[in-house]
Amino acid sequence: MRICRFDDNRLGLVEGDEVVDVSSALDQLPAVRWPYPPGDLLIRHLEELWPHLEAAAKTGERLKISDVTLRSPVANPGKILAAPVNYAKHIEEARADPGINFGSDVKAIDHYGIFLKATSALVGAGEGVVAGSADRRTDHEIELALVIGKGGRNISEAEAFDHIAGYAIALDMTIRGTEDRSYRKSLDTFAVLGPWMVTADEFGDPAQVDFELRIDGEIRQKSNTRHLIFDVPKLIAYSSQAFTLEPGDIIMTGTPEGVAPVKPGDVMDCSIDGIGTMQVGVR
């Protein structure tokens, strides 16, 4: 299934070029009061909600996807985790370009660990990205993202796939500079997730997935997840050694070579096989 959030927090199932409004199923979520349970309530209860989503889809309003504004499919992630320098050719370009490395010696992922992006930076494809100030380089980074379904700590690589709710396309937008990653990658709108979440059963194996980012028809980034240094199960195992993972946590798996600046007016055309394409405007 393909789950999206659109317009005024409507919940949708994507079928072809249409979205079916299944918001009525949200009435089945448990009533919660402060302090809220950690993580995203919808993702936490997604499995119990399946029959209600399917029932709601039979009578839900159908809209053209092109007529709705797509929001992040995860509304309330507890945290956004991201992998730094997780493709060898991206390490090479970062080492070669002072506009990326700012004089620092670029090391490998096991040197840096996992970093966190502010949840306030999260937007959907239809909301677009606000570029950093004109005197700072703002780069695109397309990444395969996964959404944690079942939480846990010290999850083994062998069990990692049991903890994934689904996958989506992510943009880990970045200003280049000397500041910490968590600062440079957490400006408002700098975490894009979309266009929808494809459930893990439908997406299948994330080990060999083609993806690319184009601007004005020009391919800027094009790679395959087989080039990941830490693959999906390893990222879950590695992250969960440090952090308790909660339903709705987002893990951005890292970007390949080809990172480059965007400017207001650009539209980033982002595609990942098995998910689809999202157009994300820059303003």
Tokens of 34: 């402060």
Nearest residue to Mn ion, by Cβ distance, number only: 172
CB of 125 to Mn ion, least distance (A): 17
CB of 154 to Mn ion, least distance (A): 25
Question: Would you say the C-alpha torsion 160, 28, 15, 6 has a positive or negative sign?
Answer: negative
Residues at the contact surface with Mn ion, assessed by CB under 5 A: 141, 172, 255
CB of 59 to Mn ion, least distance (A): 41
CB of 236 to Mn ion, least distance (A): 17
Instruction: Label residue 180 exposed, middle or buried (CB < 10 Å: 0-12, 13-18, 19+).
Output: exposed
Nearer to Mn ion, 141 or 257 (CB): 141
Nearer to Mn ion, 21 or 141 (CB): 141
Nearer to Mn ion, 39 or 84 (CB): 84
Nearer to Mn ion, 70 or 228 (CB): 228
Nearer to Mn ion, 22 or 282 (CB): 282
CB of 171 to Mn ion, least distance (A): 9
CB of 80 to Mn ion, least distance (A): 11
CB of 14 to Mn ion, least distance (A): 26
Roughly how many angstroms between the first and final C-alpha of the chain, as a whole number? 32
Nearer to Mn ion, 53 or 187 (CB): 187
Nearer to Mn ion, 141 or 249 (CB): 141
